[in-house]
Structure formats: structure tokens, C-alpha cells
Amino acid sequence: MKSWSTASHLLVIMLIAVIGATQESTSHSPTQQTARTRVVLLGTGTPVPDPDRSGPATAIVVDDSAYVVDFGPGIVRRAESAALNRKIPAVEPGNLKVAFVTHLHSDHTAGYSDLILSGWTSGRRVPLEVYGPSGLQSMTERILQAYRVDIETRTNPDGPMRDAGRFPDGWKVNAHEIKSGVIYKDEKVMVTAFATKHAMESYGYRFDTPDRRIVISGDTNPVEETITACNGCDVLIHEAQPLELLAKMPQSIQSFVAKYHTTTEQLAELANKAKPKLLVIYHTISFPPGIAPSRLLPPKAGADALYASPEMLQKEIESRYSGKFAIGKDLDVY
Ligand SMILES: [Zn+2]
Ligand SMILES: [Zn+2]
């Protein structure tokens, strides 16, 4: 009797396990609540000092591990905000241990010293591992050199981080200069870099995790490599510049954008081929009312002449692309 009861108990457990597995395998689009992998926008801006948009920084979070792409100014405070307000402890500044940089423009790297040093003082005990284009090692060495007084006074016998048993290597950085291909792998994620077309050596990244495939463009003219990397991916995070705004900008900026960035029209065309389940638009040039430098404002224009409202972007994309898309804002989670 006892053994029959044990056997039936086991059968019930097995049935539950089978039903659970079936439900999991038929769930094609994990929601934010159930997915193991989430995209957290820590900064969606450009070089424009928009108080509502930090410099470009994105975290791909898999379970309790976070992988950062780009470290624009504001990254550390936005990361803390996401940890507190979105309840994602993986992005606590002290937990940020692996980062990738798309290219070395200042809007994508001005938060580097903050990520290194505030990450350390917030509790990181291992070196920061950073991957990116040529020039990354030199930038890293010079940042550490520039902050040698800070590092020395925190680690000397008087310093608050002197407990070498706890924080021996937290300020150190291992900078890895990469080429296209698989550049990183651990038990949670495989990261593939692909060449993009910008004003300098630049890469987009594809993240393959246990439940999602995520592609991020960085700054780039539309390239075939992004379409290949996505090819039906779960989330494509891509820059876009609005046509209506560009038409009002000086010719020099229009030419630069034509060579090294992507318009909304071009992004719609690219997304129609890449077919992401969700397209997230970020890094859009826009000057909120009152902050455009006068040299850029057209003659007699109002203070909001160079503001790209979410409605403007929405209209330009939805008239050309029927897939699901979102205009990314800082601290959005997908
Ligand atoms: Zn940029
Ligand atoms: Zn750039």
C-alpha cells in the first residue's frame, strides 16, 4: 500500500513536470515578468545634455547577471535607479562586472571612469571585464592613470578600501580589444560582435541567452550585418534619426548622419528585413525646448524647433513599419 502511494505520488510529480515543460516550450514570447533575460535601458540619449536621457547604456540581464553595452554619462546613477525602482538587483553598480562598448565616441564612454570607480566603491571585488574596439586599452590605461591619486588614497593604509581581503582587485580593468565574431561566452550568454559603419571602428552586439536573442546596433549607418545578426531576433535595439528634425539641421550634420547614422526611414526598411519580435528605438537626436545651442537653431525658429517628440518618431516609423516597436526611454525594461 505504502509503495503504491509513493508510486502514485511520483506519477503526479512527473505529470506536473511534463505539463510544466510543455507550457514552457510553447511560450514563444517571454514576457518581462517570466523571461530569464531582460533588456534594461540605462541611457537612451546622444551627446545632447538632455536631463531625461542619460548617455547610451543598455543592460542585458540574465537571471542575476548583468552585461552592459556602452557606458554613457549617467550610467551608474541610472543603474542604481533601475536596481531600486525596477527591482533589478543585477544592475546594482557593484554588480556590474562585464561591459561591451560599441565605439569610443564620448557619449558612449564618458561614464567609463564612473563605472570603474563607483562600481568598485559600491562593492565590486573583481576586475571589470570590458570588450571593445582598438583604442580601448589605451583609454583604460589613461583613465586609471588619471585617477591614480584616488586609487592610491583609497587603498593605502588610511584608505576606506584598504581591506585588501575584501576589495583587492575591484578598481582594476581587463580591457579586451576585439574583432568580429564570438567574443564572449559564459554559462548564461554568448556574445557575437559584428562590424557596423560609423565614424570610427565600431561594433554591434548579439546576445544569445537561454531564452532570448537580443541585438544592439550602437551608432551606425544601416548595415547588412545587423539584419543577419537579428534575423527574427526577440529584441532589436537600434538608433534612429527623425527625418522631420534632420531637415532643419545644418548641412554638415545632415551629411554626417547620412554617412554614419540611420534615419527612421532607413530603420523601417532594415527592420522589415530583420523582422525582430520587438524593435526598440534609442539614440535619437533631439533638443528638448530651451537646450538647443543657438548656432544650430534655424533663423527665427522657436525654442522647440529641434525637439523630436515621441509622436514625431512614432509617426515616421509606423507609416513605414508594421511590426511591434517601442520608443525607448531611460529605465524602460523589455
Ligand atoms: Zn552616439
Ligand atoms: Zn557615435
pLDDT at 19 (0 to 100): 43
Q: Which residues surround ligand 1, an ion (CB under 5 A)?
A: 107, 219
Q: Residue 239 Cα, ligand 1 centroid: separation in angstroms?
A: 9
The model's pLDDT over 254-269, given as tens digits with 9 standing for 90+, comes to 999 999 999 999 999 9
CB atoms within 10 A of CB 96: 26
DSSP secondary-structure letter at 221? B
- 7-39 pLDDT, tens digit per residue, is 455 544 444 444 444 333 333 444 555 689 999
* Model confidence pLDDT, tens digit, residues 155-209: 888 777 776 567 778 999 999 999 999 999 999 999 999 999 999 999 999 999 9
Name which CATH class applies to 35-327. alpha beta
How many angstroms separate the alpha carbon of residue 159 from the centre of ligand 1? 37
Of 58, 326, 86, the residue nearest 216 (C-alpha): 58
Question: Cα(271) to centroid of ligand 1, in Å?
Answer: 20
Q: How far apart are CA 332 and CA 138, in angstroms?
A: 33
114 CB burial (10 A radius; 0-12, 13-18, 19+): middle
Per-residue pLDDT tens over the stretch 92-110: 999 999 999 999 999 999 9
Alpha-carbon distance values, 43 to 93, 222, 293, 328, 332 (Å): 14, 21, 22, 9, 9
173: left (phi over 0), alpha (psi -120 to 50) or beta: beta
Query: Averaged over 295-304, what is the pLDDT?
Result: 84
Distance CA 303, CA 290 (A): 5
Of the listed ranges 53-62, 159-168, 301-310, the one predicted with least confidence: 159-168
Ligand 2 centre to CA of 230 (Å) is 21
